[in-house]
A and B are shown apart, each in its own frame.
Chain A
């Protein structure tokens, strides 16, 4: 099931990137996708972690929300960069990652890093060590909304 979906994803990507739709080229594309799937199967790297199809329903909604957060955080950080003097108050703190699986924690940690103003600098079991540029970014994260949304992402599967 994961292998089929990996093959389809690979082939769709290949079709998009190639742009040459003669029978020979499509045959070569199918062949190379099949070889990649076979190699991946032999390496046993196809599982719900490397190819999380179970998230494909809930991810787009999360991405929209994350996109909004990224835009707001960007504006905040840009303001701080441009304001005279040092309008920043960097701090290092820990937040709890409420996800049960590693995939959820990775999504959470990467979402934190993707939002300007906060960077995940270490993962320590269930705790993420965060470097924040200002109190605003810190408070945003400590409100725990992102944590809840990422957890819901995994549970909705």
Chain B
């Protein structure tokens, strides 16, 4: 039983790490600020969710698990709020979302001109 739980939590931690790493990869790779936020979203939701689920199994039925669960809940409330604040601030400051059309007009192929 112990070994089984360890395996399950290990798989969850590995899967969480996978999504965290490739969320970060997307953050670097995608063309502009708005698209990059989607990469960050992967890290925020499934990455953090799977990782904390893995830790909760390690914690067992203890207060630590309850606290980890609360962290997850607060995460899911805070993350969209901060994403919205970030995106809305960028939009109101005149940041133009990247599209295939905008690439033709200004030749900005890799999005290096976008503000970070």
| Interface, chain A (partner B; CB < 8 A) | 13, 16-17, 19, 70-71, 74, 77-78, 81-82, 86, 88-92, 109-111, 113-122, 129, 131, 133
Contacts and interface: CB of A to CB of B under 8 A. Distances in A.
Interface residues of B, number: 38
A70 B87 CA distance: 19
Nearest to A137: B38
B39 A110 contact: no
Contacts of B91: 121-122, 129
A137 to B, nearest CB: 8
Interface of B: 19, 22-23, 25-26, 29-32, 34-35, 37-39, 41-42, 45-46, 49, 63, 66-67, 70, 76-77, 79-81, 83-84, 87-88, 90-91, 97-100
A56 to B, nearest CB: 14
Contacts of B90: 121
B45 A114 contact: yes
A70 B84 contact: no
B22 A82 contact: yes
A109 B39 contact: no
Given A16-B70, A90-B35, A81 B29 contact: yes
B46, B63, B66: which has the most chain A beta carbons within 10 Å?
A: B46
Given A17-B67, A133-B38, A81 B76 contact: no
Contact of A88 (B25, B30, B46, B88): B30
Contact of B87 (A13, A88, A89, A119): A119
A13 B70 contact: yes
B38 A119 contact: yes
Contacts of A131: 34-35, 37, 87, 97
A88 B35 contact: yes
- Residue among A89, A110, A131 with the highest chain B CB neighbour number at 10 A: A131
Contacts of A19: 63
B19 A78 contact: yes
Contacts of A113: 41, 79-80, 83-84
A121 B88 contact: yes
A70 B99 CA distance: 24
Contacts of B45: 70, 74, 114-116
A117 B83 CA distance: 12
Contact of B84 (A16, A71, A120, A133): A120
Given A16-B67, A113-B83, 12 more contacts: A17-B67, A74-B42, A77-B39, A78-B22, A81-B25, A81-B30, A82-B22, A86-B31, A88-B35, A110-B80, A110-B81, A129-B91
